[in-house]
Structure 1
């Protein structure tokens, strides 16, 4: 039953490098230098002042290196500018790499482990405010992962060992040998044509354009801001007004580097040329971290001089003036402000005394995003909700940071961190979720409803990480508080999660009692959501572990029925895992494989590693069944599952019951393979990244084999064979 092990790594992905939204002008020499450095150096830092084009150059160079095949595992950008808490740096990089950290370990440890055998380029963009932490992360990563290289952008060097610097100067002001326009002039003409269709470089305006670019020192951001004014002013008028602004605004800044003064003056001049409302909106938009949509702008920024119905036009004006960047994706149009412009807007927001009010409105909007996401999580839009929350993640971090740092806002920090349970759990961010909850719980010890929810969410996440030492005290405190304050809902959730602790603690009989009690409470409250369905699934598993398959499948079928009725897929996927376990126990290999594969496929939609890895271990065991079994393939899947467990937490939560299929598979493989085959197949499985492992589990490249299932329908979960 053995065969030659084969492992297919995923192709050469480009990572998640963003597509260019405007043309890339010039920088041929810099791109050539960067290509040479990336081919030989493991850490390259692109340095230069704000607005000089570091990020565009780095991303362009990274894309070229990826296309050239230098990095088989792709080039991956991580935006560091929006990360304010150094403790979240590792989480942010993991998220950017598409790696899920659900463990209780330090994220850097997980990152090092996950990238140990990868050959990829990590682009850390905007490191200047976290130079020390970034240097520590890079140093640890490069020491432990020989196939990883790092390309950073920063206004100053990181100071890490082995760092190679690529200083970026402004664009050339003189034409290159062979003629053509200077790079700075070419950039101005390109951006001018975008706001003034038909604009081109002519003999009549060539001298004025060249003069303008020289006065702007060829700084790309300054050139783009100036080009954005052409709808109202001619190039000659731009020169005259800019000359006036330089004389006025540089007088008190003689100690600053000349180019810094030029950029600051150009931004200030562009700011002055904006209307009063545009300036006000510019300042207010500085509270956003990362990208944001128009709906968020309308809520956060309206009022006090700006009517909601005026915001669409004002946003369009700021896009036209290059103050905002417009990004169009599968989830609609979003906007982003460069860090340099955000800093300038933040200055005026503070000067106008509006910062606190705007930060609170920003927090309130993203609390609404979280609250609505929790509601929509139980329904047919779960995958869309997960993606919408992922897009809002940088702003959710900013909202949490504000609530935790502002006296009197601690309760809302508890509410926000607790409400996001569906994202922390369902999309694999347990480590970061616990970070925020631990901080909030430490700041708000009062026995409030918000604290009760934060406690059971903390207990739940700790259980999933196999951390019973933290889970049990949190859940017991929640239960005591619920009884004292007559909080029936918190009591139901506390009892439910205590049942989970008993289940992974190998006390299925006690677990069943607690799940039954929790479901009684849920029924009395009229509570029905994904948590309630999970309680039914967990009760079914408790019965299966007790050997009562009939009772177990009654509850699992109830989960399927309710999930299909409401279009819910996350808890439904866990029910499929339970059915796979039950059908394997009954000797029905074909049905068990179909259920387990569909569980893997659905959980992959949410990036829920726990659901994936539980089903993958069952699929490994199923490979050992029957005369056509493949022990080598079983062992490859076990190796892939082991790698995933490293990003989840303690394998099988430390539970003997959940570990049963794994141990059975391991023993069968050991009995039927040579030692070399046994260990080599496991090692090769460990080389598979998540997507490749899922593809393998779904049937040698992702095609469902016998007993496989069709893809998902738009609303209802995919059909599965009747039990």
Structure 2
């Protein structure tokens, strides 16, 4: 039976490319590719703006095996290096394991090329991580891209020189032509390129100025600046100083509003959009009505670049350009005020996203949060390190519950939540919100002891503070904990009480609907399928009214189970196909693996035990990343046990185990593609990682088992 159509997938991000071109560079590309084939760790080094990232991207695009691109420039905390790697590679894990442990486990069987771009400000943490990865993963190769080596044994350096004379001239002419300006190969042009040492970023900035100045005029102004900075001597000017000079020279040619905006834009981490710029950067000499015009000028001058993402048009600034502007921002004495405005914007964004999560814009919210993560982290860090801001950090960490829980970022969420609740803020309401979210995250990670303690503490404090919402959420999540630890009667009692509290205070959102689904599960586990169906049909109705899809997928799971029990496997498959589509789109591991297990049982019932065993193998590969102790639960384990009994009985032990092993070679996306391909649907893409990171371009291992062939 053909299942429901999946939503259109989000386009995956490409590796970040510097503004500078990769003119020529054929020999360098071939050399770098050869180096990667002969060494497990290759580091491309060179001055800022010389085109290191562009060259790496050119080589990686032709690489024959799976690769992942990790952009480390937005990260400022050494602890976040491994988070960035896991995030960039799309490695979702719901357990209490560290991101490093997840990376090590999930990369263990893959022939992989890992690219780490822009690590020089985190060299110690990056080197330590790379050393362990290379030691534990013999099939791994690492391509590091930065201004300095990692300093590890076996590291092969690949210094990247600036462009040659002809290449530099060609790049300048190409960039000018893109702006509708024709530049001839004249002595002045060649001298200008020589003065800029063939550094692509410097040439890019110069080309942007050819709209207003001739090459000869540019050369005169640049020559004056070199003399000023070097006391008249040009011979010993190092290339890093050449680039800084070129950036400073470009800065001097900017109007005062352009310089001001350049400096203020440096408070953003990663990419940013026009609305954020208008809020954060306007005022005090820069009216909001002028922001777009000034931003457009900076774009035309290559100070910033524009890119299209799943969340719309966004802008980014190269690190070298950002560092220069940040120095000016500090010099103005306005840095703290701008960071506070930046924090305020992202507090507002998180509040809006939390509200819109319960709406037809759920996937839009997920995509928006994915690209905004670097700045959200910067806002959290500001709140948790700036005096008197802790309550805002607690509020922000708690408001992002949907990001941590609904979009597969439990480990990172727990880190921020634990940091925030450890602080005395003086604002109990904010702290209570962070506490119940922390308890919820711990429940989903299968960390029952800490979850129970945190939720008990939250409930006690909520009663003392007469905080009705926090009390309802604490009771709800304690009921959830009882459900996953095989105590459905207690779960029912707590969940009914929590739902009554929600009704009393007028609370209705995705969390409340999940409470109703969990109550339905508790009823089903106690044998009352009609009541479970009634509850989930009501949830589905409310979800359809509000455009909610995340909680809806869990309601569909319960309805599918009921359909299977009632002897309607075709109807169960239809519901589960939609359920899997939604769970995968939100990076919801728990929803995905539960659905795969029930689909396996439905498949066995339909008479295809080989394919059922393959799906069980695919689910078994996912379970270690989920964290919930579901196989210790007789209730949650029932579909798996029934399916295994039926499939093993039909196939025999040897063939059953063979099919399970084949399924175990499927990663999550391959398993989803297999299921949805069988139904004639286009497989969905999970919500993308932030721009500047790339998910796997993997060579996926399929392999069917007779009747169930992979696509």
Q: For residues 397 and 451 of structure 2, what CA distance do their matches in structure 1 show? A: 17
Which residue number in structure 2 is paired with residue 291 of structure 1? 271
Alignment check: 8 A CA contact 2:311 2:371 kept: no
Counterpart among 177, 184, 206 of residue 193 in structure 1 = 177
Which residue number in structure 2 is paired with residue 559 of structure 1? 539
Deviation at 1:472, TM superposition (A): 0.8
Q: Secondary structure at the match of 1:343?
A: helix
Q: For residues 424 and 235 of structure 2, what CA distance do their matches in structure 1 show? A: 46
What's the CA shift string for 1:350-397, capped at 9, x where partnerless?
111011011111111111111111111001111111101111111111
Deviation at 1:114, TM superposition (A): 1.2
Deviation at 1:555, TM superposition (A): 0.9
Q: For residues 18 and 68 of structure 2, what CA distance do their matches in structure 1 show? A: 15
The reply on whether 1:409 has 2:389 as its aligned counterpart is: yes
Q: Secondary structure at the match of 1:46?
A: strand
The reply on whether 1:677 has 2:655 as its aligned counterpart is: yes
Counterpart among 90, 96, 108 of residue 98 in structure 1 = 90
The reply on whether 1:156 has 2:156 as its aligned counterpart is: no
Q: For residues 314 and 217 of structure 2, what CA distance do their matches in structure 1 show? A: 33
Q: For residues 350 and 671 of structure 2, what CA distance do their matches in structure 1 show? A: 31
Q: For residues 438 and 425 of structure 1, what CA distance do their matches in structure 2 show? A: 15
Q: For residues 257 and 237 of structure 1, what CA distance do their matches in structure 2 show? A: 21
Deviation at 1:586, TM superposition (A): 2.8
Q: Secondary structure at the match of 1:407?
A: coil
Alignment check: 8 A CA contact 2:188 2:219 kept: yes
What's the CA shift string for 1:394-445, capped at 9, x where partnerless?
1111111111121111111111111000111111100110011111111236
Q: Secondary structure at the match of 2:544?
A: helix
Q: Secondary structure at the match of 2:486?
A: coil
Q: 1:359 to 1:251 in 2, by over 3 A?
A: farther
Q: 1:230 to 1:553 in 2, by over 3 A?
A: same
Which residue number in structure 1 is paired with residue 700 of structure 2? none
Q: 1:653 to 1:535 in 2, by over 3 A?
A: farther
Q: How many residues align?
A: 674
What's the CA shift string for 1:552-590, capped at 9, x where partnerless?
111111101111111111100000111122222333322
Q: For residues 669 and 81 of structure 1, what CA distance do their matches in structure 2 show? A: 50
Alignment check: 8 A CA contact 1:127 1:134 kept: yes
Which residue number in structure 2 is paired with residue 386 of structure 1? 366
Deviation at 1:650, TM superposition (A): 3.6
> TM-score, structure 1 length as denominator?
0.90
Deviation at 1:621, TM superposition (A): 1.5
What's the CA shift string for 1:489-535, capped at 9, x where partnerless?
11111111010011011110010011110111111111111011000
Which residue number in structure 2 is paired with residue 176 of structure 1? none
Which residue number in structure 2 is paired with residue 694 of structure 1? 672
Alignment check: 8 A CA contact 2:356 2:365 kept: yes
Which residue number in structure 1 is paired with residue 608 of structure 2? 630
Deviation at 1:653, TM superposition (A): 7.4
Counterpart among 112, 123, 127 of residue 120 in structure 1 = 112
Deviation at 1:212, TM superposition (A): 0.7
Which residue number in structure 1 is paired with residue 511 of structure 2? 531
Which residue number in structure 2 is paired with residue 24 of structure 1? 22
**After alignment, is 567-576 or 32-41 more displaced?**
32-41
**After alignment, is 427-436 or 598-607 more displaced?**
598-607
Q: For residues 280 and 456 of structure 1, what CA distance do their matches in structure 2 show? A: 42
Q: 1:51 to 1:139 in 2, by over 3 A?
A: same
Which residue number in structure 2 is paired with residue 449 of structure 1? 429
Q: For residues 451 and 101 of structure 1, what CA distance do their matches in structure 2 show? A: 26
Deviation at 1:446, TM superposition (A): 4.5
Structure 2 unmatched ranges of 5 or more: 1-10, 685-711
Deviation at 1:699, TM superposition (A): 5.1
Alignment check: 8 A CA contact 1:14 1:63 kept: no
Which residue number in structure 2 is paired with residue 362 of structure 1? 342
Q: Secondary structure at the match of 2:412?
A: helix
Q: Secondary structure at the match of 2:70?
A: strand
Q: Secondary structure at the match of 1:392?
A: helix
The reply on whether 1:183 has 2:161 as its aligned counterpart is: no
Q: 1:471 to 1:257 in 2, by over 3 A?
A: farther
Q: Aligned-pair RMSD on alpha carbons?
A: 2.3
Q: For residues 21 and 222 of structure 1, what CA distance do their matches in structure 2 show? A: 10
Q: 1:150 to 1:294 in 2, by over 3 A?
A: same
Counterpart among 261, 272, 275 of residue 241 in structure 2 = 261
Q: Secondary structure at the match of 2:156?
A: strand
Alignment check: 8 A CA contact 2:86 2:103 kept: yes
Which residue number in structure 2 is paired with residue 9 of structure 1? none
Where do residues 367-378 of structure 1 align in structure 2 (5 Å cutoff)? 367-378=347-358
Deviation at 1:330, TM superposition (A): 4.8
Which residue number in structure 2 is paired with residue 39 of structure 1? 37
The reply on whether 1:250 has 2:230 as its aligned counterpart is: yes
Q: Secondary structure at the match of 1:624?
A: helix
The reply on whether 1:584 has 2:582 as its aligned counterpart is: no
Structure 1 unmatched ranges of 5 or more: 1-12, 174-181, 710-723
Q: 1:650 to 1:135 in 2, by over 3 A?
A: farther
Q: 1:556 to 1:478 in 2, by over 3 A?
A: same
Alignment check: 8 A CA contact 1:302 1:311 kept: yes
What's the CA shift string for 1:432-477, capped at 9, x where partnerless?
1001111111123656101111111011111111111111111111
Deviation at 1:663, TM superposition (A): 2.2
Which residue number in structure 2 is paired with residue 83 of structure 1? 75
Q: For residues 60 and 12 of structure 2, what CA distance do their matches in structure 1 show? A: 9
> TM-score, structure 2 length as denominator?
0.91
Where do residues 641-660 of structure 1 align in structure 2 (5 Å cutoff)? 641-652=619-630, 654-660=632-638
Moved over 6 A (4+): 19-22, 252-257
Q: For residues 13 and 49 of structure 2, what CA distance do their matches in structure 1 show? A: 25
Q: For residues 188 and 94 of structure 1, what CA distance do their matches in structure 2 show? A: 38
Which residue number in structure 2 is paired with residue 607 of structure 1? 587
Counterpart among 464, 472, 489 of residue 509 in structure 1 = 489
Counterpart among 125, 129, 149 of residue 133 in structure 1 = 125
Q: For residues 365 and 191 of structure 1, what CA distance do their matches in structure 2 show? A: 35
The reply on whether 1:703 has 2:680 as its aligned counterpart is: yes
Q: For residues 273 and 207 of structure 1, what CA distance do their matches in structure 2 show? A: 23
Q: For residues 703 and 18 of structure 1, what CA distance do their matches in structure 2 show? A: 34
